[in-house]
């Protein structure tokens, strides 16, 4: 199965999700999204396919979120997407893409739905 995980090795949830994928017998393509963020259109597509809003996919607990004024409810989806691409630390993680769908695997058990 073709699986891609947008991974942050410092994130426990991301590490647990990666372990669950490997425990299923699959070896995913691991993308360090901080070093190689998805293109804006790809990010927008992943968010939509996961059934999320852009605001649900942004890491609002990250200090930069507030520093950039993204906590303003009037901030548009386009502005949030632009910020996420410019500052990939703002992308919530881990996103996993498989032929069965896309999930933001928070909690990590959500990955089971698409394996």
11 is known as an active-site residue: yes
Cβ contact 75:68 at 8 Å: no
Q: Which of 1, 4, 10, 11 is catalytic?
A: 11
Helix, strand or coil, per DSSP, at residue 78: helix
Distances (CA, A) of 101 to 32, 60, 65, 114: 20, 24, 28, 6
List, by residue number, the catalytic residues. Answer: 11
């Amino acid at each position: 199965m073709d699986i891609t995980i947008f991974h942050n090795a410092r994130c426990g949830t991301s590490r647990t999700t990666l372990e669950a994928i490997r425990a299923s017998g699959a070896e995913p393509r691991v993308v360090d999204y901080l070093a190689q963020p998805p293109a804006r259109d790809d990010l927008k597509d992943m968010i939509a396919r996961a059934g999320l809003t852009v605001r649900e996919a942004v890491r609002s607990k990250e200090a930069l979120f507030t520093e950039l004024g993204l906590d303003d409810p009037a901030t548009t989806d386009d502005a949030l997407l632009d910020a996420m691409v410019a500052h990939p630390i703002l992308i919530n993680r881990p996103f996993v893409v498989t032929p069965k769908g896309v999930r933001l695997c928070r909690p990590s058990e959500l990955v089971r739905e698409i394996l």
